[in-house]
Amino acid sequence: MLRTGFLTTVAAISLMAAATIPARAEVSIMYMESFAALIESGIEKFEAETGETVNAIKLPGQGYDQRIALDLSAGTAADVNLIDSFMVSELAAAGYLEPLGAQLAGWDQFQYYLQGLLEVASYQGEVYALPTDTDVRMLWYDLSNFEKAGIATPWAPKNWADILDAATKLKEAGVQYPFQLPAGTKQAEAATMQGVYMALLGADVPEGDRNRLLKRDTNQWIGDSPALRRVFDLYHQVYVAQELNPADLNYATDIGAAVRAALANDQLGILASGSWEDACLWDCNNPPSREERDAQVGWTPWPGSGEPGTKATTNISGGWTLGINANAADKETAFKLLTTIFDEENFKAWTLANHRMGVRTDISESAEYTADPFLAEATGLAADTTGRDTIPGYQTVSALIQQATSDLLDGVSVEEAIETYHNALVDEFGEENVITYE
């Protein structure tokens, strides 16, 4: 049975990696190279304004999450760190991140951040990091295959039955992958976020968190519920009962590359994914023109299940953040570096140049931002978004959800998948921390 939490896992990594960190300057920052344009322009401005020297530690993306968790737990982390939002709650609970509420209250630009996106970077109501960008999730669809299947576009499904109906028509038209719904352990967090949670949020009413994995007022994991059973049945219908999609894309060596190849070869019908696909369905760093993209694919919000009282559309967001090490020697200077990076001029220029989804209204409501039709419309979905469950243990629960979808792909019944998932939660967290909704 899975018992090892995220921080326990990274703590087992050799501490020798810490020795590669350069000698600490008065203020230091660690980040991935893909965020260099944002962070390095902020560093340049900070050094010019303060006369301080910043120790900038730039790393490749591979293994970055494990490195930052290891450094924080070992006490060797930089003062300011780039952190994937899903890690914030666990790192904050462990005491590795500095709470920012008091300092942010005195910063005049804090008012512009979207509240729903701050929840992603919070723990127990306290903000511990600021988001660099965000994403939303939706259903992408291939226009030529929809035309082949006789499905009118723009497509706007009202419920899950509409999605399954479209997938059936695509299958009958000979489309190889009618509805690619992320599933399985190799899909990792994509199976949880792009698949299960997007469906779960529309599977039952929001009251009492009946549409989530966690009952947030009591911090109890939901081991069995009508919502979970409906979501598991959706997977069962897509991959087993109605055979509306082969499972092989979920096991590809490079899933992203396999999905892009399926699109290029007119093999893809509907894809459950996110806003990053506006570039990444082709090449994240070199997508075709807006006209070429809009001629090939369309997108629509995830609809609710159609059950009485459920949400009409759903969304959940992630993204990257910058936070301050709780052990930073000079937290005031570290906060100054943080806010200089996020100063409107620097932050807006990076957001626009790199085609990122804005997390602040002073940027997302600007004329330059709204001039991009995709960004303008997709950002609107963020007004009604939520985040993953910001308590320690989420990583374990997500892994169990991924395993459940893998089991469903293998033909396990919904009843058995629910029972296995429930029992695993009890084994991990104790019976008192797991509830069942009738």
Q: Which residues contact 415 (CB under 8 A, 6 or more apart)?
A: none
**Region of 328 on the Ramachandran plot (φ > 0 left; ψ -120 to 50 alpha; else beta):** beta
pTM for the whole structure: 0.78
- Under a CB-based contact definition with an 8 Å cutoff, are residues 138 and 273 in contact? yes
- The span from the CA of 118 to the CA of 86, in Å, is 12
How far are the Cα atoms of 24, 80, 204, 336 from residue 330, in angstroms, in the given order? 12, 11, 47, 10
What token pair was written down for 31?
A: 């980040």
Per the model's pLDDT, the better-predicted residue between 161 and 257 turns out to be 161
How far are the Cα atoms of 109, 200, 284, 331 from residue 98, in angstroms, in the given order? 19, 32, 33, 8
Q: Which residue, among 65, 46, 62, 63, has the nearest Cα to 54 in the 3D structure?
A: 46
| Percent residues over pLDDT 70 in the chain | 93
Q: Which residues contact 412 (CB under 8 A, 6 or more apart)?
A: 420
Secondary structure (3-state) at 13: coil
The reported pLDDT for the residue numbered 84 is: 86
- The span from the CA of 237 to the CA of 204, in Å, is 18
Identify the residue whose tokens are 């930052």.
68
Over range 250-260, report the average pLDDT. 91
Phi then psi dihedrals of residue 364, to 5 deg: -70, -20
Average pLDDT, the chain: 91
Would the pLDDT of 428 be above 90? yes
The CA dihedral of 389, 391, 392, 395, to the nearest 10 degrees, is: 10
Using 50, 70 and 90 to split pLDDT, how confident is the model at 11?
very low
Q: Which residue, among 1, 149, 13, has the nearest Cα to 73 in the 3D structure?
A: 13
The reported pLDDT for the residue numbered 10 is: 46
- Under a CB-based contact definition with an 8 Å cutoff, are residues 116 and 382 in contact? yes
What token pair was written down for 7?
A: 């921080």
Residue 184: CB atoms within 10 Å:
24
How far are the Cα atoms of 64, 181, 285 from residue 354, in angstroms, in the given order? 21, 28, 9
What token pair was written down for 281?
A: 């369905």
> Exposed, middle or buried, 362 (CB in 10 Å: 0-12/13-18/19+)?
middle
Q: Which of 11-15, 31-35, 349-353 has the lowest mean pLDDT?
A: 11-15
Q: Which of 59-68, 131-140, 407-416, 417-426 has the lowest mean pLDDT?
A: 59-68
Would the pLDDT of 16 be above 50? no
What token pair was written down for 23?
A: 């000698």
* Residue environment code for 79-98, b if the CB has 16+ CB neighbours within 10 A, otherwise e: bbbbbbbbbbbbbbbeebbb
Would the pLDDT of 279 be above 90? no
- The span from the CA of 25 to the CA of 257, in Å, is 40
The reported pLDDT for the residue numbered 15 is: 39
> Exposed, middle or buried, 75 (CB in 10 Å: 0-12/13-18/19+)?
exposed
**Predicted confidence (pLDDT) per residue in 317-328, tens digit:** 888 999 999 999
Using 50, 70 and 90 to split pLDDT, how confident is the model at 62?
low
